[in-house]
Amino acid sequence: MFINDVEQCQWIRQKFETPGIMKFTNEEKRTLLARLVRSMRFEDFLARKWSSEKRFGLEGCEVMIPALKTIIDKSSEMGIEYVIMGMPHRGRLNVLANVIRKELEQIFCQFDPKLEAADEGSGDVKYHLGMYHERINRTTNKKITLSLMANPSHLEAVDPVVQGKTKAEQFYRGDTAGKKVMSILLHGDAAFAGQGVVYETFHLSDLPSYTTNGTIHVVVNNQIGFTTDPRMARSSPYPTDVARVVNAPIFHVNADDPEAVMYVCNVAAEWRNTFNKDVVVDLVCYRRRGHNEMDEPMFTQPLMYKQIHKQVPVLKKYADKLIADGTVTLQEFEEEIAKYDRICEEAYTRSKDNKILHIKHWLDSPWPGFFNVDGEPKSMSCPPTGISEDLLTHIGNVASSVPVKDFKIHSGLSRILKARLEMTKNRVVDWALAEYMAFGSVLKEGIHVRLSGQDVERGTFSHRHHVLHDQEVDKRTCVPMNHLWEQQAPYTVCNSSLSEYGVLGFELGFAMASPNALVCWEAQFGDFHNTAQCIIDQFISSGQAKWVRHNGIVLLLPHGMEGMGPEHSSARPERFLQMSNDDSDAYPEFSEQFEVSQLYECNWIVVNCSTPANYFHVLRRQILLPFRKPLIVLTPKSLLRHPEAKSSFDEMVTGTTFQRVIPENGPAAQAPHEVKRVIFCTGKVYYDLVKERKNQDLEKQVAITRLEQISPFPFDLLKEELEKYPSADLVWCQEEHKNSGYYDYVKPRFRTIVNRTRPIWYVGREPAAAAATGNKNMHLVSLRRFLDTAFNLEAFEGKTF
């Protein structure tokens, strides 16, 4: 068991070693039989009607359905009101039908190849879809809410997402002990032992801001429960190995013994709801078919499947047992089968009336009241994101203080707080203070803010300091952000474990629970997001298209070429831009609502702000929009302390808003027809360009325009800029290498604006395999080279684009 607590060990011994403890009433046995009937006959029905369709059936572990229902029954009895579930493909349709209770006709119509898709997105295959359902638990007669999360083909990817959503639901209910909301995760044996995200998820369970107070893990273990012959065993490690790592009890039970399974599931539910600890139920069974119904397992496992084909189904075994001991009669058993078969046939007939597939009917995380009844935004406008100067000053003053008495802070931190106070008095902000004001202002509006990631409390670059530590009392801390007003939403800032995949998935799940929260995940360095690429690709980029699931998660990715080497430089913006769904060749129609409409139609928003004020505005806009989209922010490193990278209160007060494009506003803008070159750029390189332009005395001849929102592409504002400088060279300048960064994304869009009549020249570093050099001198030489090109007004003369 790998448990060091004597009380817990004794509790388990009492549950399993007390003679005669595993007893069921006749009524409980009949209920178990009925559940087995539904589980097995559902699979049989699908096999008869759609014999050549993949469905990832449950044959060989049909007992999983009554097992889940037992866990839910016992948890409901102990006070649980909401169960959030995650699982892979195998058995998902059966769980939807017989546990969540999705209407059978909506499941059956998914097999119709002529079913048209509603105009809601690209959709997903039926065995990936999720569901949300509120109903009465028939055993306890209590209300229960069940949510099965949609999942991609990537086994175990949904694990941290489920945990994040569970944590959020507990948080919003004030359920700090997990007595109202819990999670169940289902696994295959090979994935449970082999996928690293399983361990990342388990390791979150003991962290205060991530724990869900225990999860029940159910492993469908294809280890051939009916034989001890090692030649029949699978090659995957046995899940006991996992228990050694995760410090959770693991209960092995033969899936061919339904009553033993029910008893173990009751114990597991009791354990979780008594001790608030993880527990694993290992259903040792077999897979009657191959990987899917079209697979032939005899190709590679002939001896094993000769044995499997001889096995008597668990339903027949258990029915024979109950008939033999007089618990049910043969007629009652046959009537139970006939009743469910009739239910399936009637649903099948109704399913033929469904002509259109609505993905929204499979939504796993609805937001009641946020959208109209038809699921559309209540408006297509966004109010200005500025706030009053009094509010800015108040937040700045609190950010500069220690609102707890007799609290001794570090002397170095005293200097930082003093500098914040001085900035507030002078009506200016740096990046850290702008972020503080964005967070603080939405807290006042009742919006919960959660910031998570590695070392986010202090900030990777020691700039944030949202948690103060008493230098004389161990573990005594203060979060000034929670002392802004008496009536405010809570602020949660939490250092995560050293994980990206698991933690980003967790925060994504947290953001699913409510649209009225600003949930941010910050990478320690931007390129570290690549270990969470599965979450980004399968959930964040495509989640709305596949599952009609809105999500407003914010990714903060430190980015910038500063000679720090290939692993601490680029957040790989090109990857996010490549996955953006806007069409580079389609010239849009402009309207009053163009900005918001464009945001609504995109799959995510990618920004690289060059000023603290714009960072402040984009965070506030994220909440004020009438819908939710993921926001990818390329955040600064050296700019955090750059003397020029500061903003005035004037750029943040009431009436101001996020600037998608910041146009040239110097001498070049006063006489645009005399401008020889317009340099378009984004992010930190702007400051290098401005400095070089001044050094070369080209402020009248070269205009520099900043692209702050890269995707969706601000066609309307850039059209104005291009028309302002009709005779100028057009240059895109970036500090990233040519095969990364933004050029491949912006070039065709600029060309679309000018109807391909003007070239957009590239200035930046040459293509490279690595994201950046590790040699400081090489970094500076390449910077010097592209700055020289940027301001050489003859650089492109005679060249063909």
Q: What is the pLDDT of residues 577-633, one digit of tens each?
A: 999 999 999 999 999 899 999 999 999 999 999 999 999 999 999 999 999 999 999
User: How many helical (H) and strand (E) elements, i.e. helices and strands, does the chain have?
Assistant: 27, 25
Q: How confident is the model at residue 277 (pLDDT cuts 50, 70, 90)?
A: very high
DSSP for residue 639: G
CA distance 253 to 47: 28
Instruction: Give the torsion through C-alpha atoms of 482, 485, 486, 491, to 10 deg.
Output: -30
User: Are the beta carbons of 304 and 1 closer than 8 angstroms?
Assistant: no
Three-class secondary structure of residue 22 per DSSP = coil
Amino acid 2: pLDDT: 66
Would you tell me how many other CB atoms lie within 10 Å of the CB of residue 306?
A: 11
Would you tell me how many other CB atoms lie within 10 Å of the CB of residue 396?
A: 23
Q: Which residues pair with 707 in a beta bridge?
A: 661
CA angle, 575 as apex, 572 and 745 as ends, to 5°? 105
Amino acid 237: pLDDT: 46
Report the pLDDT averaged over residues 354-363: 74
pLDDT in tens, 639-654: 999 999 999 999 999 9
Would you tell me how many other CB atoms lie within 10 Å of the CB of residue 653?
A: 18
Report the pLDDT averaged over residues 665-679: 96
β-strand pairing of 448-453 with 661-662? unpaired
Prior bond of 712 cis (ω within 30°): yes
CA distance 739 to 745: 11
Q: Is the dihedral of CA 781, 787, 791, 797 positive or negative?
A: positive
Distances 12 to 6, 255, 272, 326, 547 between C-alpha atoms, Å: 10, 20, 12, 32, 41
Report the Cα–Cα distance between both ends of the chain, in Å, rounded.
69
Three-class secondary structure of residue 648 per DSSP = strand
pLDDT in tens, 473-489: 999 999 999 999 999 99
CA distance 231 to 566: 48
Residue 712: HSE in the Cβ half-sphere, 13 Å Cα cutoff:
21
Amino acid 230: pLDDT: 40
User: Are the beta carbons of 192 and 219 closer than 8 angstroms?
Assistant: yes
Amino acid 242: pLDDT: 61
- Residue 1 pLDDT exceeds 60: no
User: Which token pair is 639?
Assistant: 């700019």
Higher pLDDT, 356 or 569: 569
Report the pLDDT averaged over residues 538-566: 93
The helix (H) or strand (E) run that includes residue 44 is helix 26-49
Looking at residue 349, its amino acid is T
User: Are the beta carbons of 36 and 314 closer than 8 angstroms?
Assistant: yes
Task: Report which of 542, 370, 534, 516 is spatially closest to residue 450, judged by C-alpha positions.
Answer: 516
DSSP for residue 542: T
Amino acid 126: pLDDT: 77
Amino acid 329: pLDDT: 97
Report the pLDDT averaged over residues 209-213: 96
Backbone phi, psi, residue 128, to 5°: -110, -10
Looking at residue 380, its amino acid is M
Would you tell me how many other CB atoms lie within 10 Å of the CB of residue 274?
A: 12
| Cα 718 off chain centre by | 32
CA distance 221 to 283: 6
Query: Which residue's entry shows tokens 């028939």?
Result: 138
User: Which value, in Å, is the radius of gyration of the alpha carbons in the chain?
Assistant: 30
User: Are the beta carbons of 669 and 639 closer than 8 angstroms?
Assistant: no
Would you tell me how many other CB atoms lie within 10 Å of the CB of residue 131?
A: 25
CA distance 655 to 386: 6
CA distance 219 to 216: 10
- Residue 426 pLDDT exceeds 70: yes
Three-class secondary structure of residue 715 per DSSP = helix
β-strand pairing of 677-681 with 702-707? parallel
Query: Which residue's entry shows tokens 């005899």?
Result: 298
Amino acid 782: pLDDT: 95
Report the pLDDT averaged over residues 768-795: 95
Q: How confident is the model at residue 235 (pLDDT cuts 50, 70, 90)?
A: very low
Amino acid 233: pLDDT: 39
Q: Percentage of the chain with pLDDT > 70?
A: 96
- Residue 752 pLDDT exceeds 70: yes
- Residue 219 pLDDT exceeds 80: yes
Three-class secondary structure of residue 799 per DSSP = coil
Three-class secondary structure of residue 419 per DSSP = helix
Three-class secondary structure of residue 34 per DSSP = helix
Distances 214 to 16, 159, 469, 629 between C-alpha atoms, Å: 21, 13, 29, 31
User: Are the beta carbons of 238 and 193 closer than 8 angstroms?
Assistant: yes
pTM of the model: 0.94
pLDDT in tens, 61-90: 999 999 999 999 999 999 999 999 999 999
Identify the structural domains of the chain with CATH numbers, from first to last: 6-111+125-362 (3.40.50.970), 389-559+608-651 (3.40.50.12470), 664-791 (3.40.50.11610)
Would you tell me how many other CB atoms lie within 10 Å of the CB of residue 404?
A: 15
Length of the chain: 801
| Cα 162 off chain centre by | 10
pLDDT in tens, 686-726: 999 999 999 999 999 999 999 999 999 999 999 999 999 99
CA distance 717 to 659: 10
Would you tell me how many other CB atoms lie within 10 Å of the CB of residue 87?
A: 25
DSSP3 helix / strand / coil % (the chain, rounded to 5) = 45, 15, 40
245-259, 280-294, 521-535 — most confident range: 521-535
101-110, 198-207, 284-293, 746-755 — most confident range: 746-755
Task: Report which of 697, 632, 686, 638 is spatially closest to residue 662, judged by C-alpha positions.
Answer: 686
Q: What is the DSSP string of 328-392?
A: S-HHHHHHHHHHHHHHHHHHHHHHTT--EE-GGGG-SS--TTTS-TTS--S-S------B-HHHH
- Residue 231 pLDDT exceeds 50: no
Amino acid 289: pLDDT: 82
Would you tell me how many other CB atoms lie within 10 Å of the CB of residue 442?
A: 24
| Cα 300 off chain centre by | 37
pLDDT in tens, 363-418: 888 898 999 888 889 999 999 999 999 999 999 999 999 999 999 999 999 999 99
H-assigned helices in 150-207: 158-173, 189-194, 196-203
User: Are the beta carbons of 151 and 195 closer than 8 angstroms?
Assistant: no
Amino acid 111: pLDDT: 87
Task: Report which of 228, 274, 226, 247 is spatially closest to residue 60, judged by C-alpha positions.
Answer: 226
Report the pLDDT averaged over residues 148-171: 95
Q: How confident is the model at residue 328 (pLDDT cuts 50, 70, 90)?
A: very high
Amino acid 682: pLDDT: 98
Q: Percentage of the chain with pLDDT > 90?
A: 81
User: Are the beta carbons of 693 and 699 closer than 8 angstroms?
Assistant: yes
Average pLDDT, the chain: 92
Amino acid 241: pLDDT: 60
Amino acid 356: pLDDT: 66
